[in-house]
Amino acid sequence: MGRVDGKIALITGGARGLGEATGRTMAKEGATVVLTDMLDDLGKTVAEEINNEGGNAEYLHQDVTQEGPWDEIVSDIVNRYGRLDVVVNNAGVVLDATVEDTSLAEWRHVNAVNSEAVFLGTRAGIKAMKAQDPKGGSIVNISSVAGLIGIDNLAAYNASKGAVRLFTKSAALHVAQEGYNIRVNSVHPSYTWTPMVQHLGDNTGDRDAFFDALGEAHPLGRPGVPMDIAWGVLYLASDESTWVTGSELVIDGGLTCR
């Protein structure tokens, strides 16, 4: 018996990194996973590998910043699978820039992907989840430790992830008050070794030294690995967390304890 047996899950940014790990984990635990991304070759390969290992997965192209396709993708999933139980709003971009170095166009792009799209995905998920029988579901919004504390070189990213944290609570309250049986939670990872963070390492000029410095920065002595985060998302997606909503699951090797 898997921890999310029979659930239908949409995971954005599912082609690599945390979204890929979450998709593989949820599929192993019995969910049918629909991965969306703009990296089509990678995304198709991940879905194929999941299916070859006995799971159920498919890949769809989606730019999460585009409003129109959200309803189309969610309706398509509901039409073909009968329902939508889980939305993981995971797609994201990072901008390695301070407030002084950030252009308005860059600010808007980071906030469009990391914040506006989380609103679009949450709204689309609620629309489907409240209308199905039995109604309900779990929406998991991937924020960051950058949604909790300031980081000097992540100005736009900080703003976008802080927005996800409080938007999640607003949505959680609304759907609870409406009695939709939907839960909405945020996850706050610290630096986890994915292509996004490897890119930050490359920007320093020495990826290996950056990896070591991340280890020293975290009380538990290492940066995260994608599975550290995937286990947390799995818990929030599963029925093990049916009394958990509007919460902030911090998975950070102790970084924000200090």
* From 59, 157, 191, 235, active-site residue: 157
Q: Which two tokens stand for residue 151?
A: 């980081």
Smallest distance, ligand NAD to C-beta of residue 179, A: 30
Question: Contact, 30 vs 4, CB < 8 A?
Answer: yes
Query: Which residues in this chain contact ligand NAD in the complex, by CB under 6 A?
Result: 12-13, 15-19, 37-39, 62-65, 90-93, 113-114, 142, 144, 189, 191-192, 194-197
Is residue 157 annotated as part of the catalytic site, yes or no? Answer: yes
CA distance 253 to 21: 18
Q: Indicate the helix (H) or strand (E) that contains 251.
A: strand 248-251
Smallest distance, ligand NAD to C-beta of residue 145, A: 6
List Cα–Cα distances, 216 to 213, 251, 252, in angstroms: 5, 17, 13
Closer residue to ligand NAD (CB): 156 or 175? 156
Q: Given CA atoms 132, 133, 135, 138 in this order, what sign does their dihedral have?
A: negative
Closer residue to ligand NAD (CB): 168 or 192? 192
Smallest distance, ligand NAD to C-beta of residue 207, A: 14
Smallest distance, ligand NAD to C-beta of residue 229, A: 7
Q: Indicate the helix (H) or strand (E) that contains 37.
A: strand 32-37
CA distance 9 to 74: 10
Q: Which two tokens stand for residue 176?
A: 């609870």
Smallest distance, ligand NAD to C-beta of residue 241, A: 19
Closer residue to ligand NAD (CB): 131 or 257? 257
Nearby residues of 2 by Cβ (< 8 Å), 6 or more positions away: 28, 29, 30, 31
Closer residue to ligand NAD (CB): 39 or 244? 39
Residue 10: phi and psi, rounded to 5, are -105, 125
Closer residue to ligand NAD (CB): 82 or 195? 195
Question: Contact, 171 vs 184, CB < 8 A?
Answer: yes
The catalytic residue positions are: 157
